[in-house]
Amino acid sequence: MQRSIPPSENPRQATVAIEFVRGMLAGLDRRSIDTKDFLRQVGLDLADDASRIPVDRYAALYNLLNRTFDDEAFCLFAQPMRVGSFEFLCRGSLSAPTLGEALARMGRFLRLILPDLKVSIRRQHGQAELVIAETRRLAATPDDPGRIFAFEWLLRLLHGLSCWLVARGLALDSVLFPYRRPKHSADYALIFTEDSRFAPTVPGGTGTLVASFNANLLELPVRRDETDLESFLDGAPGKITSLYRRDRAMVTRIRDLLRDSLPVSLSLEEIADRLYLSPRTIHRRLEEEGASFRTIKDALRRDLALARLTKTQRSIAQIAGELGYADTSAFYRAVVDWTGISPVQYRKRLQSEKP
């Protein structure tokens, strides 16, 4: 059996929960299409529930499936979303004067090519809401992996495109997802917002996702034009929907500083001093990028820990020390939180899969 690909230790390489890939493949699974060859082509193996995968391989699989099935929505809906749909979604938004008008155009276009979901914008009391509603049930059960992925995918696509159009990060204040808290919900803090909430849809009914943000953002001018679009479309749509946002300059800078300082664990004040900024400014910019200092630190430790457990023979105590944990027991608890199993079990499981 091919071994699960371990996370990279590249400081800029994030990893994602394997459940995102399972959701992406759910439409093909319903049609009894064998996906092993597609996974092999991008170097992935879904045999291990505890493993995480590099974001770039997620994006590669995304684009491979789009091309192979001529469907940018992974065979999840009643009708295919033909290749080229994302490009026209972008082109139709470029001439909009503001983000609010761009989102309105996106909603009208998606109604033509993706009738199973309705996208709309609501405004009230200084808040705006991006609403994604099922017009028909996407799956027999509310917590079906394909249904969960459909909401994750479309929100990420619309949010990522919106950030690009106005040339800045757009913070989501909260998101209400129409299903129970999924196994991989810990990743939502870096993908969407830390204030991610879950409300189960009544079996047999339809559900609605509601993403809330400051209504003033709708008045932001669209800053992109045709000359920007060519480079943006390179690697899209897999690139833009590859979960960890490319518009997070502050997140990336802090992640790099934290990694370079290990095993010393820098405080927010020490980070601010190295960036010649105040802690308040860093806090504000992270809020704008939908992240927090604690979330970045936890995600970095997770990625490095799982990489070193699978790629090295270092002892558990040594890895814990390298990552700045005060004691090994704290490291054990962290790994159990991330994977559901102990560090020793995680390492043994992956090693047992070696050919």
Can you spell out the DSSP letters for 58-115?
Answer: HHHHHHHHHHHHT-TTTT-SSS---TTHHHHHHHHHHT-SBHHHHHHHHHHHHHHH-T
Distance of CA 278 to the CA centre of its chain: 29
Q: Which helix (H) or strand (E) holds 343?
A: helix 343-352
Q: What is the pLDDT of residue 91?
A: 93
Of 112, 115, 28, the residue nearest 71 (C-alpha): 28
| Cα distance between residue 211 and residue 172, in whole Å | 7
pLDDT at 56: 79
The C-alpha atoms of residue 296 and residue 258 are separated, in whole angstroms, by: 9
Count of alpha carbons within 13 angstroms of residue 308, beta-carbon side? 19
How much is the pLDDT for 271?
Answer: 93
| Block mean pLDDT (10 aa), the chain, length 355 | 38 70 94 92 74 80 93 95 93 94 97 96 91 94 95 94 85 92 85 88 87 93 87 74 54 85 91 90 78 84 83 88 90 86 82 54
pLDDT at residue 345, as a whole number: 86
pLDDT of residue 48: 57
Contact call for residues 95 and 83 (beta carbons, < 8 A): no
What pTM, to 2 d.p., does this model score? 0.71
CB of 148 within 8 A of CB of 87? no
Per-residue confidence (pLDDT) for residue 245, from 0 to 100 = 47
- Per-residue pLDDT at 11: 38
Q: What is the longest distance spanned by two Cα atoms in the chain?
A: 59
Query: Phi then psi for 137, rounded to 5 degrees?
Result: -65, 130
Contacts of 100 (CB under 8 A, 6+ apart): 121, 128, 218, 219
